[in-house]
Structures are given as C-alpha cells and as structure tokens.
Amino acid sequence: MSTLLITHHDCIEHEPGDFHPEHPDRLRGVMRMLESEDFMLLHRDQAPHADHEQLLRVHPLSYIEEIMGMVPREGHHSIDGDTTLSPKTGEAALRSAGGVCAAVDAVALKQVRNAFVAVRPPGHHAERSRAMGFCFFNNVAVGAYHARAVHGFQKVAVMDWDVHHGNGTQHIFWDDPDAFYASTHQYPLWPGTGAADECGAHNNILNCPLPAGAGGAEFRAAMTEKVLPALRAFNPDILFISAGFDAHGRDPMANMRLTVADFVWATEELLQVAAECCDNRVVSVMEGGYDIVALAACVAAHIRKLMGV
Ligand SMILES: [Zn+2]
C-alpha cells in the first residue's frame, strides 16, 4: 500500500503579508521538491473544505463564524501581531482542516497506508475559540475527532515535534482520556506552555521541553525514553504527527539543532509504533518550518520514509 499526499492550491493563496514568516513560499518550496521523480508513486489528492460538522467537533459555531466573518475582501485583517487573514485565508483554513479529514478517510478505508497533509495555515496553536500563532482551525485535532466520530477509532494520539509547543492541541485534548498528546519543543519559548508538569486531566499529555541549543542527541533521548514508551502504553487506534520542521538547525524562529536525519529517524520510530499499535495508520500534518530550504528537504525525507523508500 502507498502513501497519500493531500494539498490544495488555495493553501498557497493564504497571504499573511510579504514579510510574514508563514509565507506562501513555504508550501511552494515543498511542492516543488515533491515534483521530483522520487515521488512519482505518491497518490495525490486535493484537500476538500472541512464541513461544519467536522469543525464543530473542536470549535464552537460562534468561533467558526467569527473567523469566516473576519476574512477581508481585500488587503489584510490582523487578529494579533502574528495571525493575519487575507482574502483567501478562509478557503485555505477550511482546506487545511478538511485535508486532514480526507487523509483520515483514506487511511481508515485502507485506500493508502499513510498520508501527509501539506497545507497552510498550520493548526496546532489554534485553541477552541482563539486563533493565534499563524493558526485558525486546529487541523490535527479536527482530524483526530473525525477519526473517532466517523471511523470508530476511539483512541487517538498526536506526536508534535514542531519546535513550538502545541498549546491548542494540548488544551483541546486535556480532559479526554482517549486522546493523547506528546510534544518535544524548545522551552522556554513562545507560546509559553509545555512545561513537563502539564500532564492533562488523565495523564494523557506528555511534554518534553528541551533547552535552546538542543540537538539530535537530546531529541532522540526524549523520544526514546519518554515519547515512544508512552505512545506504546497508550496504544492508539490511529497516530497523527504534527510535523513542524522548525526545530531544524537552519530555522530562523528558534534555536534547536535538529537535522534531516533526526526527522527521518523519528519518522521511522513512529512508523514502528503504528505498526505495533494501529495497523500502520499514520496521518502526518504539516505545521511550522520557516527556512524554506530546510523545510522542503525535511518534508521530502519525511515523506520518503512514509513511503518506505
Ligand atoms: Zn513552530
């Protein structure tokens, strides 16, 4: 079985501003890399819009309407210093969350073994009722609750290796004993959450804060000693990856020193967990990553590993 790549051109047309780090060139760079022959065997699909039913499992109607109502007809509308809407942002945000749901469907129905969702805006900072940190809808959480509601996967797990802590996903999962969230991230760093003692209402949150300057050795130790055993103990029915690549050494937004090889290693380890726990079901969702060269290289290597080549 194969790997599915889901994306949509609308996700390139979300334009938070010429000098904004979450720039359309991020996804352009990734998609250009995926034109190479190495990826001929990828199955490819367009990301559909998330529908209200999918979004409402995570976000209240009032919030969904507020976000869609803020989409400007021209120019920009800023929610805060980081989080800005342009005329295509509503479309892009709907397709980002919808893309994850479509990936879940394909993996659940065994049309493919696993999937990568190459979308923007990212999602892991989006709270139930608050957009922040370049994020509007929590794409991975919407996908996780879709997996439960539609495909009967009770236990859902997210591993988030973005360099920033996924405050939104943590808070959405906090009270849910069947939703597990694990994160490695630089700490302290924006958004300020993700201390080791934030464990969720049911010990269902695992935070592995790492200091500025941490590299592959520290990351692999946190994965090996904490994340991987916890994932195996939780034994998910489907495993999501919040795949941000801003912990790479070239990234301008943080100070960790991971390499492409570290992300490849982590991908391999998570695939092994999925093989043991959930019949290989993995849905990986793009989050951050702001050095365009490093982002494209990391995504390409990550997808090669998902494809098993
Ligand atoms: Zn990030």
For residue range 265-288, list pLDDT tens digits in order. Answer: 999 999 999 999 999 999 999 999
Q: Cite the beta strand spans of 56-133 per DSSP E.
A: 77-78, 84-85, 114-117
- The domain ranges of the chain are 3-303
Annotated active-site residue in 8, 49, 125, 171: 125
Q: Do 152 and 164 contact (CB within 8 A), yes or no?
A: no
| Alpha carbons 289 and 32: distance in angstroms, whole number | 16
Name every residue whose Cβ is closer than 8 Å to that of residue 237 and which is 6 or more positions away in sequence: 147, 153, 154, 155, 156, 277, 278, 281
Q: What does the pLDDT average to over 180-202?
A: 98
Q: Per-residue pLDDT for 105 more than 90?
A: yes
The fraction of the chain above a pLDDT of 70, given in percent, is 100
Band (pLDDT 50/70/90 cuts) for residue 1 is confident
Nearest to 249 by CA among 266, 237, 239, 262: 262
Residue 186 pLDDT exceeds 90: yes
Q: How far is the CA of 63 from the centre of ligand 1 (A)?
A: 23
Binned at pLDDT 50, 70 and 90, residue 123 comes out as very high
Write down the pLDDT at residue 160: 99
Residue 154, SS3 per DSSP: coil
Q: CA-CA-CA-CA torsion for 168, 173, 179, 182, nearest 10 degrees?
A: 50
* Residue 113 alpha carbon to ligand 1 centre in Å: 27
Q: What is the Cα–Cα distance from 153 to 278, expressed in whole angstroms?
A: 10
Bridge-based pairing of strands 77-78 and 84-85 is antiparallel
Percent with pLDDT over 90 in the chain: 99
pLDDT tens for each residue of 80-97: 999 999 999 999 999 999
What's the CA-to-centroid distance between 251 and ligand 1, angstroms?
10
Q: How are strands ordered across the β-sheet holding 156-160? A: 43-46, 3-7, 114-117, 282-286, 238-243, 156-160, 179-186, 205-210
**Looking at residues 88-115, what average pLDDT do you find?**
98
pLDDT at 107: 98
Quote the ligand 1 centre to 31 CA distance (angstroms): 19
Please give the average per-residue pLDDT across 210-221, as a whole number.
98
Ligand 1 mean position, distance from CA 108 (Å): 28
Q: Give the pLDDT score at 209.
A: 98
Give me the mean pLDDT over the 138-148 stretch: 99
Strand-strand pairing, 156-160 and 179-186: parallel
Distance 186 CA to ligand 1 centre (A): 10
Nearest to 169 by CA among 205, 201, 195: 205
Pick the CATH number of 3-303 from 3.30.70.380, 1.10.3720.10, 3.40.800.20, 3.30.70.920: 3.40.800.20
Instruction: Please write the tens of the pLDDT for every residue from 248-257.
Output: 999 999 999 9
**Contact yes or no for 205/226 (Cβ under 8 A):** no
The pLDDT tens digits of the residues spanning 38-53 come to: 999 999 999 999 999 9
Active site residue 302: no
